[in-house]
Amino acid sequence: MFCRTVSRLTSLRTVAQRFASTKTLKESLQEVIPAKQEQLKRLKAEHSQVIVGDIKVENIVGGMRGLKSMLWEASVLDPNEACGIRFHGLSIPDCQQQLPAAPGGKEIIAESMLWLLLTGEVPTEAATRQLSRELAEKGDLPTYVERLVDGLSPSIHPMTQLGIGVAALNHDSVFQKAYETGIKKADYWKYTLEDCLALIARLPALAARIYRNVYKHGAAAPPVNKDLDLVGNYTALMGYGANKDLTEYLRLYISIHGDHEGGNASAHTAHLVGSTLADPYLAYSAALFALAGPLHGLANQEVLRWQLAMQKELGDNITHQNIKDYLWKTLKSGQVVPGYGHGVLRKSDPRFIALQEFCDSRPDLLKSPTIQLVKKTYEVAPGVLTEHGKTKNPWPNVDAASGCVLYHYGLTEFKYYTVIFGVSRALGALTQLVWARALGLPLERPKCAFLSKQLKLKFGI
């Protein structure tokens, strides 16, 4: 993506080392925006004719894969770098070391990652706590959304319900109301930021209400706790507040899953719809429906389903050879091995490694047959897939581990897993929507290629 080129031009690695004070997130962002606006101005004035890549027929007919055509600075994927992904210059281990955790916790929390993604700065602990309080105070669902979600049939997929709820929240969009009354273009980002923070704040209550309606017969949830962080409230609202290990796991998962470049289907959808000046609620609801597809966000539930089927067939006789035989059985039946391969990365997904390290630090997870199977599969699968020869990347992605840990902790409802993904991916998609408005990015409108005519004229095909 174009962000790889731009990120080098703007020296984001240097930016990421600055530490924020206890200013509010909006105040910190207000200081960063003018410099970025000037950088973009210089980029357009001095480098607008620079060629950043070739467009080949394989790009057009191959889902635009690898095409550098978007401005997206929050995260960068590098298929050849060991760390794989960087958030404003910081690797996942860097983030684990530098970003504040929850009081008494060890893992990154969503608020500190949100601050980094939005400003390029590492927040102080005081600033992170302040942001947690701000989000908690905005975290209650409006009554009209509660009634809407409660009225949906439990048979409707949880992701469909999440998209419906998010879209309905646009009733409260401050951006939409301000735009209708007339505001300066330079102020678009301020109203967009208000909507984005309100949406991120309300997602735990919305997602938890859907969980309780579908799987707990509409059991009442506790009120939002103004002293908890975003994920602490999320697990409490679902009914898992007493499970501290699950809360810590979801803090890590949601933080490192929050952004993954802008070219993936959900992030790109948010960017595209947002470019029409649709409010953040509409833009992100569209992103959620993209995320609901089986080639995107549903992958983690497919991995777990496959792992449990293998566990059932192998029983207690889980050896490397038996796993190898099962892998070949899967491949020879014409199926793929879920959880392996990645659209960009060509090494083990660093998010998978982070989740594996989380498991290695907890004796109960190390004893879990499901987690043991994940670990042993990781030791066997790359060799089998390499020998099979039909995959560019035989290494695991984050989905190879994520759902299995949720299952171990008692969150066994497969269909709900993508909702958690949807809560996490809001961090990146919405922060970049703020930046799209701050930088005045235009309506996205690519040109279609009439290949049949061009190929006939040039090659006689």
Q: Which residues are catalytic?
A: 296, 342, 399
Q: What angle do CA 159, 161, 162 make, to 5 degrees?
A: 65
- Rounded to the nearest 5°, which phi and psi values hold at 77? -100, 135
Between helices 350-360 and 399-408, what is the axis angle to 10°?
Answer: 30
The whole-angstrom distance between residue 331's C-alpha and the CA centroid of its chain comes to 29
If one counts every other C-beta atom within 10 angstroms of the C-beta of residue 104, the result is 7
If one counts every other C-beta atom within 10 angstroms of the C-beta of residue 333, the result is 7
Q: 85 in helix, strand or coil?
A: strand
Q: Which two tokens stand for residue 70?
A: 């978007």
Any residues with CB less than 8 A from the CB of 5 and at least 6 apart, and which?
Answer: 52, 68
H or E element at residue 408: helix 399-408
Q: Does residue 121 contact residue 15 with C-beta atoms inside 8 Å?
A: yes
Alpha helices per DSSP H over 257-388: 265-274, 280-291, 299-314, 320-332, 350-360, 363-367, 369-388
Q: Which two tokens stand for residue 309?
A: 């089927």
**Which residue from 309, 315, 356 is spatially nearest to 335, judged by alpha carbons?**
309
Q: What angle do CA 176, 118, 39 make, to 5 degrees?
A: 95
Using the structure block, give the residue that is written with the tokens 């809407």.
148
Q: Which two tokens stand for residue 66?
A: 């690898």
